[in-house]
Amino acid sequence: MFRVNENYLKLPGSYLFSTIAKKVGAYAAAHPEESVIRLGIGDVTLPLPPAVITALHRAVDEMGAAETFRGYAPDLGYEFLRKAIAEHDFAERGCEISPDEIFVSDGAKSDSANIQEIFAADSRIAVCDPVYPVYVDSNVMAGRTGSFDADTRTWSDVIYMPCTAENGFVPAFPESRPDLIYLCFPNNPTGEALTKAQLQDWVDYANREGCVIIFDAAYEAYISRADIPHSIYECKGAQTCAIELRSFSKNAGFTGLRLGYAVVPKALRDRNGVSLHALWARRHGTKYNGAPYIVQRAGEAVYTPEGQEQVREMVGFYMKNAAYIRTGLKEAGYEVYGGVDSPYVWLKTPGRMTSWEFFDYLLEKVHVVGTPGSGFGPSGEHYFRLTAFGTWENTVCAVDRIRAL
């Protein structure tokens, strides 16, 4: 009789956002008269930028003509998109990343889950705590995380680096050396960011200790302060220790369109001189047939002058929401973080409520949905995340409801 991969059986309970969906669904069914405002999941609400829509229509027309029809995409992605990425996301910021170091994918979530495949089975991982669950869960599936402690909700073989108000949400170097370090800045869920000097310290640490940093830059478009780096490759030495993941989902509204990319520099090699670029290229070509041509043309449109202006307007809209949430909650007496360089606002739960108690309290009392911090890790307990991706009307209404409590 066949057997399943038992690592999957180690995953505790249901996925965080599935649990939220079930609880909200049950509440909405029992209270159909109530208007529930969802500020939990980080999904966008604005439509795609007009430049993207135009590019999609043009690409569809090309696919409908025999002389311009496209089949399988090149393994790394079409050169027109990779060249635009290299120029606008890196060269303009002084980073030397070539188009053939860029691997186009269907999103940063997939890349963050899949990138661990090219590392040794006994690799030790370190994560910021709280942490985007995909980083840990994908390593659970790979068998790297040891046993799960239900009381502390931690894995025995994972190095947790607490990021709380007490340390300014900046992780300290781990006491024991990891092989892989997951960093997401601006951070999901805390909304906080690292300065260039702080990130440079991590690059220096990784090079010194022989670690690889998996740097998730999905929210770089929301950075407002000058001393916050948009890419880890703005730091000296990053090309020998870091892989960067990017997404079109939050900056250009591609959550339903799906597009992202990973940067794996050719200078990044293991202790035996094996090229991680070559390994990822082999994995990419073996397990992936490429983002659709029409979607990659849509991604290219993001980098046109019209596309860039429209993306700035979109980001500005969500950051206006974030400012309203941040200011409104502060005025209501909450301890609030984030919302300056990211679309997430991270707040302390009142009266030492647990994060799930606060979730139930908001849902029942004012019909507002957020995300319990404990779902992101043990250091997320007594914190709560609200997103700025709602409509302006819903954002204002949700904050005003909370302030009235």
130-146 pLDDT, tens per residue?
999 999 999 999 999 99
Known binder of ligand: residue 78?
Answer: no
Could you tell me if 344 and 326 are in contact, meaning their C-beta atoms sit under 8 angstroms apart?
Answer: no
Is the CB of residue 144 less than 8 Å from the CB of residue 157?
yes
Task: Specify the pLDDT at position 359.
Answer: 97
Give tens-digit pLDDT for 40-97. 988 999 999 999 999 999 999 999 999 999 999 999 999 999 999 999 999 999 999 9
Helix (H, G, I), strand (E, B) or coil at 119: coil
Residue 72 annotated as lining a ligand binding site: yes
User: Known binder of ligand: residue 275?
Assistant: no
Do the annotations mark residue 105 as ligand-binding?
A: no
Q: CB under 8 Å to 272, separation ≥6 — which residues?
A: none
- Contact between residue 27 and residue 33 where contact means Cβ atoms under 8 Å apart: no
- Answer yes or no: is 225 a known binding residue: no
160 is in an annotated binding site: no
Confidence check: pLDDT of 372 > 80: yes
Q: What is the pLDDT of residues 56-72, one digit of tens each?
A: 999 999 999 999 999 99
Tokens of 381: 């307990």
Q: Which two tokens stand for residue 349?
A: 């739960």
Residue 385 is assigned to a ligand binding site: yes
Interacting residues of 394 by C-beta distance below 8 A, sequence separation 6+: 37, 39
- For residue 14, the model assigns a pLDDT of 66
Would you call 266 helix, strand, or coil by DSSP? coil
**Residue 35 annotated as part of some ligand binding site:** no
Q: Round to whole Å and give the CA distance between 323 and 3.
A: 51
CA distance 41 to 17: 7
**Residue 15 annotated in ligand binding:** yes
> Is 233 annotated as ligand-binding?
no
Residue 58 assigned to a binding site: no
Q: Is 351 annotated as a binding residue?
A: no
Q: Give per-residue pLDDT as tens, 262-272.
A: 999 999 999 99
How confident is the model over 324-334, as pLDDT tens digits?
999 999 999 99
Is 281 one of the annotated binding-site residues? no
The reply, when asked if residue 176 is annotated as ligand binding, is: no
pLDDT, tens digit (0-9, with 9 covering 90-100), for 286-315: 999 999 999 999 999 999 999 999 999 999
